[in-house]
Amino acid sequence: MFPYHLSPEDESQTTSCDFESPCSWTFSNHSIRNDWRVMSPQQHRSSTQAMKPVSDHSEGSSDGHFLLLSPSSSSRASRKCEYYITSPVVYSSGPLCHLQLARFESGLTAGNLSVLVKPVNSASVISTSALSGRAQDGTSTLLSME
């Protein structure tokens, strides 16, 4: 989740959880190795992949950080690449909560991303498919939920 700023005076009302500072993200999957890594585009430059992001989405610079998923070859071969990211509870100081997500993929095939939102003190879960398409440069359209 990235911070959403309506105007400078609203910044004090923003609660955010991104990859710039630790905020207790939980990463899980069905793999036996460490598939998740938080890194910057500068760190990712040494990768052998031909296509990679030149900046992160939240900072808009090469100094920002993003989450890199590198599934193991056995996960890809089994076609059971199912990975989960869980954020800590993020409290809203107002009646609305704004969630923004962005994704970059550098392979021939694009995976699907689903978002589940569970409001605090509620048994219901809001589910949506997100970011299922992608442009030729590897970027995906931004999902915004309010």
* Residue bearing the bigger pLDDT, 110 or 97: 97
> pLDDT higher for 77 or 138?
77
- 84 DSSP β-pair partners: 28
In the beta sheet, which residues pair with residue 29? 83
Entry pTM:
0.58
Alpha carbon 10 to its chain centroid, in Å, reads: 24
pLDDT at 2 over 60: no
Mean confidence (pLDDT) of the chain = 65
Rounded mean pLDDT, 43-68? 69
